[in-house]
Amino acid sequence: MEATTQSASSTSPSMNAFQLVFHIDIFLLALAGVFALLALPRAIARFSRAAEWRHGHILRAIPLERRVPKPHMRSVQPPSAGPSAAADNLTSEESHTLHSEAHLIRHPAAKEEGWSLPPHVRAWSSRSPTFANILRYRLDAGFSLGQALVLVIYFAVLVYAGFLESNPFAEPLRTGFVAMSQIPVVFLLATKNNILGMFLGLGYEKLNYIHRFAGTLLVIASNLHSLGYIYHWTTNHTFTENIRVPARLWGVVALIAVDLLYLFSIPFFRRRAYNLFYYSHVIFFILFLPSLHAHQSGVWPYVIAAGGIIGLDYLIRLMKTRIFNARIRPIPDLMFTRIEVPQLNAGWRAGQHVRLRVLSSAMGWFGWAESHPFTIATAAKTPEGMVLLCKKTGGWTGRLYDMAKAAGYGSDEGTYGRTVQVMIEGPYGGPGHCVFASYSAAIFMVGGSGITFALSAVQDIIQRDSEGASRVKVIEVIWSVQDSASLTPFVPQLAALIQQSIYTPLKISVHYTRACEKPPGKDFLPPGLTLTAGRPKIAKVLDAVISRAVSYGSNVKASMDITGVVVGVCGPTGLGDDVAHVISQVDAGRRWAVGGIEMHEEVFGW
């Protein structure tokens, strides 16, 4: 900022730049409010149940009570023999017309027995599927038309602020005010405990694309502001005397800080040197704010707002941090490290993730300071507590895996692995206002380590179903892996989930894409779990589940109307793109008959 706020009106007799950018921020806040209002009905439905206030916010340890399942719903006796018995080994895409679902019909007296079904409010994507399909169209990997539209609107608003009755190349003061006005926006979207995301029902990672774009525009506006003045000073031969003014020197410091911050934020550093990216963010953010205030004291409201946002975020992060002893052990077939924290058993929702630090010298000189996100692989309130599966992909995860592998058998009860102290921060992300148990059918399509998302979601649905708090009648898991050997370590756990799903049939289909010399044996697989070569036929699976859900809905009363299909996706970006495309191709009549199709996607990438 080159002049005080009082002189901001000098750019135009009828235009005050400070008031203009302030009104622009109010307008952006109002736009965010519109989206929050659209999400309000689902938020009310979700938090109408007292239990939702206790889940998804603060991790905690609670004493577990022995669960006694609700009485089984009265049902029509299914056939005891015949083709349906053999069909239990098939996935939905192969056997939905043969599988008997009579045992799923709930008796009207279920409510009298203590059943409490979660309320369901359809998302706007289900109410306006044609419009949703247009917005869901992928322009690039992991980037939809809807996201592009948000960025275009945001860009247009800032261009309006920069060009209204002003030429930013001739009057560089205006671009300085535009940059100043976006500082709180950039800082807000950078926080893990994102206030905007809380109202929208979105995790910070879902809004990160706006943060990156807003940061880029802030850098562009700051450089236009600075280069404009440098040009004027150079042409007027006053550069030396102007640059010696202390306030302007601080402006140069602020400019260097924001430019270096942007440089170390490009994908090359985010993906290959994340620690450099992260710590440069922290250092240059700290340097940027006081330098900006020293450059122009009139920006103090925006500096205080940005500092307050960051300060509040770190305070909440501290409140959400726990330190526990964890058991780590390797899973060689998958190059995973399994981290078990049995003492930490409540406070998260299925699909959420935590940020993990391992406080051990074996992680290297600075390894203890690194924080990495991992999806929780178990539901809350289970005897095993919190379980994380960390894939060996880089230096930090490699050291963690090597540490677990080198431990061998421990002295405590002969268990394999070792005990380490960990710092866990979270939970974050997750399905937001989407409640998986409120849908009639749930499909989870995951790839590789994304199985952790499916495990926690399925376990949570089964747990709720045993308490009479789930509407789900059909559960399908499709897991894509490269090697068929990846299934072996998970067979006991997957078999246990199938066995526990006594009220709702669970089908798990594993697809391996890497060719092998000898076809894998399938005799060891329990009923309900299949192993198939090749990529999954997503459209066929979705169509089969829709048919089963519609078939079930035709046999129940209005109080148990079908409430749609939720498709959870976790894995490579391309998997989410493929699923989104398949959903957009579903016939409008079938979509309406099943109560809508909604997609929840979890994709991590830098």
The number of helices, as runs of H, and strands, as runs of E, in the chain is 21, 14
Is the CB of residue 176 less than 8 Å from the CB of residue 218? Answer: no
What does the pLDDT read at residue 75?
A: 36
Question: Which pair of tokens denotes residue 359?
Answer: 């406080």
In the predicted model, is pLDDT for residue 275 greater than 60? yes
Kindly report which listed range (204-218, 268-282, 290-304, 537-551) carries the lowest average pLDDT score: 268-282
What does the pLDDT read at residue 570?
A: 94
In the predicted model, is pLDDT for residue 102 greater than 60? no
What does the pLDDT read at residue 171?
A: 86
Mean of the pLDDT values across residues 406-428?
A: 76
In the predicted model, is pLDDT for residue 316 greater than 90? yes
Q: Give bridge partners of residue 530 from the DSSP assignment.
A: 509
- Of 3 and 466, the one with more pLDDT: 466
| Reported confidence tier of residue 50, pLDDT bands at 50, 70, 90 | confident
Is the CB of residue 512 less than 8 Å from the CB of residue 545? Answer: no
What does the pLDDT read at residue 126?
A: 87
Mean of the pLDDT values across residues 146-158?
A: 97
Distance CA 328, CA 337 (A): 7
| Reported confidence tier of residue 564, pLDDT bands at 50, 70, 90 | very high
Kindly report which listed range (24-38, 397-411, 480-494) carries the lowest average pLDDT score: 397-411
Question: Whole-model pTM?
Answer: 0.86
Cβ-based neighbours of 275, under 8 Å, separated by 6 or more:
366, 370
| Reported confidence tier of residue 521, pLDDT bands at 50, 70, 90 | low
Distance CA 543, CA 459 (A): 24
pLDDT digits over 466-494, tens only?
A: 888 999 999 999 999 988 888 889 999 99
Is the CB of residue 287 less than 8 Å from the CB of residue 259? Answer: no
What does the pLDDT read at residue 409?
A: 52
Kindly report which listed range (117-121, 405-409, 515-519) carries the lowest average pLDDT score: 515-519
Mean of the pLDDT values across residues 494-523?
A: 80
In the predicted model, is pLDDT for residue 296 greater than 80? yes
Lay out the sheet containing 441-447: strands in order across. 529-533, 506-512, 474-481, 441-447, 565-570, 597-602
What does the pLDDT read at residue 178?
A: 95
Q: What b-and-e string marks burial along 590-606, b requiring 16 or more CB atoms within 10 Å of the CB? A: ebebbbbbbbbbbbbee
Is the CB of residue 255 less than 8 Å from the CB of residue 292? Answer: no
What does the pLDDT read at residue 525?
A: 85
- Of 416 and 353, the one with more pLDDT: 353
Mean pLDDT of all residues in the chain? Answer: 85
Mean of the pLDDT values across residues 304-328?
A: 95
Mean of the pLDDT values across residues 372-376?
A: 94
What does the pLDDT read at residue 513?
A: 84
Identity of the highest mean pLDDT range in 48-57, 306-315, 399-408: 306-315
Question: Which pair of tokens denotes residue 83?
Answer: 């083709």
Q: What percent of the chain has pLDDT over 70?
A: 84
The DSSP letter of residue 11 is G
Distance CA 170, CA 411 (A): 75
What does the pLDDT read at residue 87?
A: 36
In the predicted model, is pLDDT for residue 170 greater than 80? yes
Kindly report which listed range (24-38, 117-131, 317-331) carries the lowest average pLDDT score: 117-131
Mean of the pLDDT values across residues 436-450?
A: 94
Helix (H) or strand (E) holding 355: strand 352-358
| Reported confidence tier of residue 274, pLDDT bands at 50, 70, 90 | confident
Q: What b-and-e string marks burial along 280-290, b requiring 16 or more CB atoms within 10 Å of the CB? A: beeebbebbbe
How many Cβ atoms sit within 10 Å of the Cβ of residue 80? 7
Mean of the pLDDT values across residues 337-342?
A: 94
What does the pLDDT read at residue 73?
A: 41
Q: What percent of the chain has pLDDT over 90?
A: 63
Mean of the pLDDT values across residues 482-508?
A: 90
| Reported confidence tier of residue 91, pLDDT bands at 50, 70, 90 | very low
